[in-house]
Structures are given as C-alpha cells and as structure tokens.
Amino acid sequence: MKQPTQYHRDGDDAADTERLQRYVEVLDDVLDYARDRDYKGWDYGDGMSSRLLLSVPIDNRWFNLAVQEFIKRSPVNVRPLFLVEQRRNFKGITLFAMANRTRAQLAERFDGDRPAETYRDDAASLTEWLVENQARGYSGFAGSHRHVIQHISGRNGPRSGIPHSPNIVSTAYGVKALLAGREFDPDYPDIAKTAVDVLLDDLNYRPKDDGAVMDYYLSHPKDSYTLNALAIGARLFVELYDHFGDEELLERAEKVYDFVASKQTDRGGWYYREPASASHLSMDNHHNGFIVECFQRYEQVVGSGRYDETLARGLDFYARELFDEDGAPNFDEEHPYPRDIHATAQGILVFAYAGQYDRAERAIDWALANMYVPSEGRFYFRKHRFYTKRMTLMRWCQAWMAYAIAEYVATRISGEPTHGYGIDADGIERLRAAAETP
C-alpha cells in the first residue's frame, strides 16, 4: 500500500498554533451545543415526521412531497409549527462520534474546558448507538435516515414510525465510524464488514458498462444512478480493504470508481445523477466534494495512480468553480447562491486532504464570519443573496462542521490526511512532546 503523503506546512509555527487553537475552541462550542441537546435536532428532509402531517387521513405522494418540500424550503424554520420531531440522525451520529474521538486526541495539545475523557466517552457511546440503531432486517450492518423521506419514486420507510431503509451514504459513514472506533470494541470492524452484503444484495451491486453500480436507496429509480452515492459506496469497499486486506473488496471498489470516473464531464465536475436529466441538481458543490474526497481516499490507501488524472481535474474544477477566493461556497457551477454550510464543511475536508491548507482556512474563516453564532456555538443553514436561513440543523450544520474542523486540525497536526480515523500513535507522541515543550 502507498505510504501516506507528508504535506509541507507553511507559515509561522506560533501563528499556526494560535489559529488552530481558535478552531479547536469553535469545535468545542459546536460539540457542546450538540451534547447539551443529546445530539438530537431537526434535519434537512425531515418534514415527513411532522405530527400534523401524520394526523391528516391522506397518504398521497404529491401531498407528502408538497408538505415535505415546503418545510425544507421555507425561508424561516416552520418545523416547530408543523410539530416536526427532533431526533438523532444516523449519519450525524457517525460524524459526531468521529469528531469527539479526534477531539479527545487533540486534548494532548489543545486546552479546553472539558477533559479528554468527556470526548472519548461520547465517542464510545455514540459509536455503540450506531450498532444498536442500525437498520434491522437486511443482509448486514446498515444505516438509514431516522425519518421518512418522500421521493418521487417512492418512500424510504413507512409513513409513520422510525424507518428502517438502508442507503449507501448512511451505511458508508457508519462503517467509517465503526472502523475508527474499534478501540472501543474489537468486534466493530467485523460488524462493519457485514455492510458489504447490504451493498451487494439489498442495494443491488451490479455490472454496468465497464464498471459497476448500486442503488442509493431501496426505492431508487433503476434507470438512473446517483454518482456521489456510488463514489461513497466505492469508498466503503476501500475502507474495509484498508483494514482487512481483502483483494475482492478492492476489485469491487475499482469497478464502481471506474463507472464514476467515466461520467466526469469535460468541465471536470460531475452531475448529481447519470443521466443528468434525472435530477434537478446540476454539478452542485457538496456532492462534487464527496466524489473528489472518495478519489482522494482511494489514492491514499491504494496509491496506484489509477485515478490521478480524474482526481486532478475534479479537484481543479471543485476549487476553481465551486468556491470563491474568499472561501465562500458556490451552490453549483452556475449559481453562487444559496451558500450552504454543508458545502463549506465538505470544502474544508477536500482542501485539507489535498494539502491546500490556505483554501481550507479561508472556508473555515468565511463560515465563522458569515454563518456562525459564537455566543451559542451553532452554524446557520444557508445564506441566500438577500437573506440568511438562520435555522440550525443538527446533522447538516453542527455535525458536518464539527467533523470538518476536527479533521482539518488533525490533518494539520498529523501532516497527512486523517479521513476520520484520527491521529496515529506517532502523531500522538508528537502532540505530547509539543505540549511538554516550553
């Protein structure tokens, strides 16, 4: 396997330390906000959990969509009026688990109001929660949204109650969290590996053209493919290959990566779906960031150079067309607005892993200046041209920014991309040595 790239660290060490300390303080406040609420909150597409909607004796796809999309798109947060439940989100918990674990490691160098054990205990309990709250009744470990989402093509669960319908993205981040948290339970990697059968059997891994595809979720249309979800599924195979060394996992990953790579546009980015006409989204920001990050992870683990050109073109498009020079995220390749906090978080990750620390810091600083409430430790959802959606969604805003900031600091300290797994033993020793140096 490829040896990790050692990224050059520019700038004054004292200034870097001061800046990173500031980011860690923000991380602490964001985690405090989530911890105080037991990591529960509203989510992006949670309108179907409205108790008002559930009380209406109508179960119609178009009516459901109308209510769900009104709640999602309203310029103010109408969720309290619609009695939308605040819940833990499966993917959000994966991000909080990894962010807390990394913050516990950073306590070796960066001061805070809480001891490392607080973060480590939260990481352990949140990781255990993922196992206890996985989607049951499928071929292996699976993650799902804990609210129903109405798609035009169908729903991801029953109209009421907690759905148990796996999707690639939640499952893949669950796998990452279990592998990162293996210190809490040595059985976690074996549990994570059973997710392979979910992708193969339940989500229909199958040949397509010269590669392979899967369904994003169970009711996904069979005549289109969600490209960022495919890339994240391919990364799931790579994560497990990195841990277990099973060549079949790598072969399956490369077939999916090949399909995604083949759909890269001449411009360098990817449409949300293949064919592009299957979605109203274009080459939007955070979904392109997902794809670039997945190719970054492949090259870090495998190092074959197989996707070097794909990655280089994708990263160039991402940095050049989906971010302004001041760090503000553009919505897609044609529209700057709305500027979304999830896009900022994904940009921090991609630029950190690429060693483009200046870009990552500009993204963080833009978010702190435009989308953050320091007195409350929370980030806003979206900034439109003439107004800002000042609602805070627990996964979309808090979990992603906590994870992104933790990853940025850990990557800077490690000198190599951490990809959710924290700082290795050598890095921890360097942290301790730095902390002991006057």
Given this model, what pLDDT does residue 428 score?
77
In a domain, 346, yes or no: yes
In a domain, 200, yes or no: yes
Given this model, what pLDDT does residue 15 score?
81
Range of the domain at 393: 13-436
In a domain, 4, yes or no: no
In a domain, 340, yes or no: yes
Residues sharing a CB contact under 8 Å with residue 178, sequence separation 6 or more, in sequence order: 127, 130, 131, 141, 188, 189, 191, 192
In a domain, 3, yes or no: no
Alpha-carbon 181 to chain mean position: 17
In a domain, 2, yes or no: no
Given this model, what pLDDT does residue 157 score?
57
Given this model, what pLDDT does residue 219 score?
85
In a domain, 387, yes or no: yes
In a domain, 143, yes or no: yes
- CATH code: domain of residue 174: 1.50.10.10
Given this model, what pLDDT does residue 182 score?
98
Cα Rg of the chain (Å, integer): 20
Using alpha carbons only, what angle is made at residue 402 by residues 194 and 407, rounded to the nearest 5 degrees?
A: 70
**Contact between 96 and 38 (Cβ < 8 Å):** no
Given this model, what pLDDT does residue 247 score?
98
Q: What is the pTM of this model?
A: 0.93
Q: How many CA atoms lie within 13 A of 438 on its CB side?
A: 0
Query: How many domains does the chain divide into?
Result: 1
Q: What is the pLDDT along the chain (438 residues), one digit of tens a residue?
A: 333 333 334 445 778 889 999 999 999 999 999 999 999 999 998 998 898 988 988 888 899 899 999 998 899 999 999 999 999 999 999 999 999 999 999 999 998 999 999 999 999 999 999 999 999 999 999 999 877 878 777 766 544 444 578 999 999 999 999 999 999 999 999 999 999 999 999 999 999 999 999 999 988 999 999 999 999 999 999 999 999 999 999 999 999 999 999 999 999 999 999 999 999 999 999 999 999 999 999 999 999 999 999 999 999 999 999 999 999 999 999 999 999 999 999 999 999 999 999 999 999 999 999 999 999 999 999 999 999 999 999 999 999 999 999 999 999 999 999 999 999 877 777 777 766 665
Given this model, what pLDDT does residue 152 score?
76
